[in-house]
Amino acid sequence: MVIVQAFFRWTATARASERAKAAGALGRAYLSATLGREEQRAAALAMTYLLDDPSPHVRLALAEALAGSPEAPRAIILALAEDQPEISCTVIACSPVITEADLIDLAGRGDGLIRGFIAARPQLSRGAAAAIVEIGEENDVTILLENESAAIGRQSLRRIAERFGHSADIRSLLLDREYLPADARHLLVHHVTTALTGSDLVRATMAAARIEHVSREAGNAAAVVIAGGVPHEEIPDFVEHLRGAGLLTPAFLIHALCAGKVDFFAGAVANLSGLEDRRVRAILATGRMHAVRALLESAGLDRDIALVFVEAILLRRRGEVAETPGSISALLLERFQRPGMPASPVSELLDMVEKLQRAEMRSTARSYADDACLAA
């Protein structure tokens, strides 16, 4: 302790540059294998004293000496992590002493700079990333998404889409990721739709009712496209997301079925009926007409509407659907639509089927035209 006392007296008169050199040397000596136990304790006491040094250069030198080592004194590292930005960045960026719980605590108590340093930390853990997502601002989350080594969980990606989907930069970073959950993609579609319908240009050229109609149909079409690319194991989560958003309507379900999203349709029926997924798929694949109808009615469809779905399912099962756009829609219209049908849920559903057929045919025509132009 005599040496420590002498060190304290020396720091009282030494210049800041000299103290900074001493701090770095002290940190390196502590980490070396040459110090005995008592000497190491004395070095730790001296470094603790330097935490209150008035010169940031001294504390930075100490941080640089200790930051990369798993043997650094934990109390000193945590104190440096809450120092001035240049100093805190040095230890937050790489110190193995700082745990996930420490990072979560620092994110909660720190400012935007601290959260930014945490978001940029290499190999950031899933829990720490989730903390940034929940309490961080847009800039913090941008840094997190740009950190390719950060472990960002499925729920965190969905939360980012919820909180910051209005930001074009955030949307771009999310969509650039190799993996993005279907529910997060759908949330991004919703944000884009909201931005477009709220623009001055759209409001100046379209009536409010027309804007609402177009945005709803565009959102449903996008959801169907997303549903077609959802991995089988993620279908229940995406279905639940859509159900929570109030989108599992008969019109949406017939859209999915006519578009050939059979795997998704089965998942939706399982969710709405509360029956086991395996049983639902077996009935849809091999069940008789009455069993299929009963299944759809248990999912909440009225009997008249359920009959249209039953026919669509049986058409696919019997292989009567041609490999041409709108074929299943055309067959359903042929079998159920009648001139002068009174307004009813069935007629409204058939109107949707007819719209799908027209949209599919127009899409096909455009594709043929594009191919012809390219061939020419």
* Percent helix, strand and coil across the chain, each to the nearest 5: 75, 0, 25
CA–CA dist 266, 239 (Å, integer): 10
Question: Which domain, by its residues, includes 330?
Answer: 248-376
Cut 0.85: pTM above it: no
Is residue 105 assigned to a domain?
A: no
> Length of the chain, please?
376
Measured CA to CA, the distance from residue 335 to residue 355 in angstroms comes to 16
CB atoms within 10 A of CB 191: 18
Task: Tell how far CA 371 is from the center of its chain.
Answer: 36
Residue recorded with tokens 């565009």: 218
The count of structural domains within the chain is 1
Instruction: Indicate whether 296 belongs to any domain.
Output: yes
305 falls within a domain: yes
218 within a domain of the structure (yes/no): no
Q: pLDDT of the chain along its 376 residues, tens only? A: 546 667 778 877 789 999 999 999 999 989 987 777 888 888 899 999 999 999 999 999 999 999 999 999 999 999 999 999 999 999 999 999 999 999 999 999 989 999 999 999 999 999 999 999 999 999 999 999 999 999 999 999 999 999 999 999 999 999 999 899 999 999 999 888 888 777 777 777 787 777 776 777 777 888 888 998 899 999 999 999 999 999 999 999 999 998 889 999 999 999 999 999 999 999 999 999 999 999 999 999 999 999 999 999 998 887 765 555 457 888 888 888 877 677 788 888 888 888 877 777 666 666 666 565 655 5
Measured between alpha carbons, how far is 278 from 309 in angstroms, rounded to an integer? 19
Asked if the structure places residue 221 within a domain, the reply is no
Alpha carbon of residue 180 to chain centroid: 6
- The answer to whether 152 and 140 are in contact (CB under 8 A) is no
Q: Is residue 24 part of a domain?
A: no
Residue whose C-alpha is closest to residue 97's, from 72, 123, 128: 72
